[in-house]
Chains A and B, each alone.
Chain A
């Protein structure tokens, strides 16, 4: 009688609503009571008049009979509230008593639900912060983000400055426009106290466009963005962390990389920059780059892309109007700034795009993890679904066990509504407790996940404070799961069939179809997860086993930047050279070198193109795109990259010497004859090839080997020195070197700070953090899912054995051997498991296509992953079914026959 369940469910919900109304909409209820009492009063009045009283007498008499209206009203309202609370509390008390009565079930249900809710919640928290959220600024939906492209290239969010300046000056559709450039590490010194910080430079309209108000002092204004204006604004977090939140910071003098600046204000607390995942510590006007950077800033270079541009639309202007206008302005500036016909052509063909910028600037974190988080959310919702199905299965089994009790109660006239209400209260309680734990788990779990996902950053790149959105999410998810696992047992336990059929011989079978389906669904879901885990783990294994072309064992890397210690000009390379010398004297160091780009790069890498190979000049469309690196002598030896021909760099290759280059094998194939001794032209330089080295996977382990040029590091102009990475190969474990290295560095200059110190193996692992997370998470949760499915199966089989005890006893009494009884139970489970597994395999092969882009070196239908997962599942399912089967085979026939 499902409508009875509905009725009881509705009643429970009505009760909650009524309680809510009573507490919140007291006025509406008061009116109702008021009406009722007044109606009664009027009725008495009418009767009294009918009896012949005068209106005055009638009124007095009615008041006497009814009492004072106001006090009567108050009494009624009190009674109503009291009754509501009493009924609610009674339900809750009863629910708690039920849960305490079976602690194992309760603990298991709460733990599995909390884990499911927590996992889903933590992914939701990440997704919300990284993908869904809009900037905490006024009217974020009026912000737009600019990108552009030239034919045949993807959209680029980095723009050149002249085009930005043109749009800023000429646009009529945009209220204001700003550009930013995160310029990386900067030393912030107050007196003798120095600390490292992340620097950001912004144009004058940055804060005005975002409509931000300072937490302290003032923010940067258009007037600040001109040469000679050395002012800075602190982020709220950095103000707290680096300046202890002192109010006297406004007006304080600081030195940025040794150059004096004045702090003028502090950003508002909620604001973390416009790029999700890249918070900065200190903002300076963009023109300050003139003094902060040694290289000439790119103010007039119309084809150098280095700034991110955002703007705010004027009221009433559409995105399309603004885009059309800006596109034209961008083109004009591109053509005007072009040098030569090729650039002019490129400028004419460039297309600017504006897109909604409510979520801020283009974010690497969002690009990298957005689709991945959605995928994980789906996985975890599947796990949660599974957990709640599992609780449903157990509740069903329990309702089977409580069958007699419930049937008795119903027969004795207990309201079905009441029985159903108990079930629902029980599940609501479970859901509420699990939801609370799940919430705590989510806030903790999201931090751990982000820490693993972004191992390179010292602080979490996103502020993951849980808020009302997470509360709402976990509450909704908990409630939904409650409804899912609470309703089915309720319907089943009170259905009329359940009352009629008492568990006698042979009564199992069709009746358990619902349970069997639930277990089969669990098997299917967990197999899907296992297959995904298998695919991801195989992917990880494949990447790890790749021949990168270099030897990643026993290599320690670290960075220092002499500029951050205030050094300039020729002093910068000299410092590095001295440091290399010092490192070479460390006894455990087998070989020492330095490079601008790390072998597994986490920051940047360089690309360029080659215009001439040997005597052949390449036409513009045939130029070779190459990656390049600046390396110190000993680079190839240190990393175990074999030199095929020619020589390594050495002390001869100085700034004054002729320019030389070493090319990779792949690059060497572009030459006619032996490349060594031939020349190439790249950038503005003509270089002589002095060596050829084996191909390596440059910058990213997953990238195929490509054409690479190696330039001698000390042949680079001092102003163009990038923060180098020092690389040391040691005889034994390289982690032991860390302290020695630190001492060597501070011996050269106490102002130098070592950062990003990592072994090459750790750096490789970090670069694979996404694959690792995906593999381990699906692995763990796949395992968890299989465990859940097996517990469900075990519960189902145990119950079935209990129920069929008389039948089994009869069979054994008639001479069936124990093995036949075991087989009976296992066979019973087999259909369920096989059906689930079949569905799971179909779902996996359909789902595998979706994760194709996340895989490496295997097909989505990798037979090994599929076979291994299926085997694992079947083995575990067999164990889960075999245990009850053994129990069944030990039944004493005589006990069984007396069972009833």
Chain B
């Protein structure tokens, strides 16, 4: 697997994780793959960044984790958005759009 830009801004990573989980619960590797999928492979999140971030978001109350059987009948820890997490996703999306727009304008100018 070819690994392109692997360093992701932390805020961006949180946003991506929340977004990845917005359609349903996933386990750690699932989150990483979903991010890769929705960003068309632009972002590949390393496990060394992913797992700490998942736990940080869990402690912040945005994610909730439960142990469940996985597709291939192993046990895996599944994450899903809490209500607060969903709200956070909304706030961060709005914030991101504002900044992205501002930067895009700045670059066009």
Contact = CB atoms under 8 A, between A and B. Distances in A.
A76 B55 contact: yes
B70 interface: yes
Contacts of B77: 35-36, 39
Nearest to B90: A413
Interface string A553-585: 000000000000000000000000000000000
A79 interface: yes
B40 interface: no
A66 B28 CA distance: 11
Contact of B72 (A43, A75, A83): A43
A62 to B, nearest CB: 11
B27 interface: yes
A44 B33 CA distance: 12
Given A40-B28, A40-B47, A75-B52, A80 B59 contact: yes
A82 interface: yes
Given A42-B74, A43-B70, A72 B47 contact: yes
A764 interface: no
B72 A46 contact: yes
A224 interface: no
Nearest to A65: B47
Contacts of B52: 75-76, 78-80
A87 B51 contact: no
A37 interface: yes
Contacts of A75: 48, 51-52
Nearest to B53: A79
A426 interface: no
A87 to B, nearest CB: 6
B80 to A, nearest CB: 15
A17 B107 CA distance: 48
Contacts of B15: none
Contacts of A36: 28, 51, 76-77
A11 B60 CA distance: 10
B98 interface: no
Nearest to B83: A415
* Interface-central residue, B1, B58, B61, by most chain A CB under 10 Å: B61
Interface string B66-109: 01001010111100000110010011000000000000000000
Contacts of A35: 67, 75, 77
B53 to A, nearest CB: 7
A79 B52 CA distance: 5
Contacts of A39: 27, 70, 74-77
Interface in A20-53: 33, 35-37, 39-40, 42-44, 46
Contacts of A84: 59
A18 interface: yes
B37 interface: no
B10 to A, nearest CB: 11
A632 B65 CA distance: 91
Contact of B51 (A37, A83, A413): A37
A546 to B, nearest CB: 69
A849 interface: no
A67 interface: yes
A79 B90 contact: no
B72 to A, nearest CB: 5
Contact of A67 (B28, B47, B74): B47
A65 to B, nearest CB: 7
B59 A18 contact: yes
Interface in A382-436: 413, 415, 417
Contacts of B75: 35, 39
A72 B51 contact: yes
A70 to B, nearest CB: 12
Contacts of B48: 67, 71-72, 75
B89 to A, nearest CB: 12
A801 to B, nearest CB: 38
B46 interface: yes
A647 to B, nearest CB: 94
A40 B29 contact: yes
A36 B47 CA distance: 12
Nearest to B51: A76
Contacts of B67: 35
Contacts of A80: 52, 55-56, 58-59
A138 to B, nearest CB: 48
Contacts of B59: 18, 80, 83-84, 87
A46 B74 contact: yes
B76 to A, nearest CB: 5
B55 A40 contact: no
A40 B27 CA distance: 8
Nearest to A69: B47
Contacts of B84: 415, 417
B76 A43 contact: yes
A11 B56 contact: no
A11 B59 CA distance: 10
B74 A66 contact: no
A83 B56 contact: yes
Nearest to B52: A79
A365 to B, nearest CB: 53
B55 to A, nearest CB: 4
Interface in B22-53: 27-29, 46-48, 51-53
A36 B77 CA distance: 6
B87 A413 contact: yes
Contacts of B27: 39-40, 43
A136 to B, nearest CB: 45
A412 to B, nearest CB: 10
* Interface-central residue, B28, B47, B70, B72, by most chain A CB under 10 Å: B47
A728 B27 CA distance: 94
Contacts of B29: 40, 43-44
B100 to A, nearest CB: 21
A218 B91 CA distance: 76
A75 B53 CA distance: 10
B91 to A, nearest CB: 7
Contacts of A44: 29
A878 to B, nearest CB: 49
B30 to A, nearest CB: 9
A75 B51 CA distance: 8
Contacts of A43: 27, 29, 70, 72, 74, 76
B78 to A, nearest CB: 10
* Interface-central residue, B1, B48, B51, B72, by most chain A CB under 10 Å: B51
B79 to A, nearest CB: 10
Nearest to B49: A75
B76 A66 contact: no
A50 to B, nearest CB: 8
B47 A83 contact: no
Contacts of B70: 39, 43
A415 B74 CA distance: 36
Interface string A189-230: 000000000000000000000000000000000000000000
A111 B70 CA distance: 57
A80 B27 CA distance: 18
A83 B55 contact: yes
Contacts of A417: 61, 84
26 contacts: A18-B59, A35-B67, A35-B77, A36-B28, A37-B51, A39-B74, A40-B28, A40-B47, A43-B29, A65-B47, A67-B48, A72-B47, A75-B48, A75-B51, A76-B55, A79-B53, A79-B55, A80-B52, A82-B56, A83-B55, A87-B59, A413-B87, A413-B90, A415-B84, A415-B87, A417-B84
Interface of B: 1, 27-29, 46-48, 51-53, 55-56, 58-61, 67, 70, 72, 74-77, 83-84, 87, 90-91
List of 6 A-B pairs having minimum Cβ-Cβ separation, nearest first:
A79-B52, A83-B59, A83-B56, A80-B55, A36-B77, A76-B51
Given A46-B74, A87-B59, 9 more contacts: A37-B51, A39-B74, A40-B51, A43-B72, A46-B72, A67-B47, A76-B52, A79-B52, A413-B91
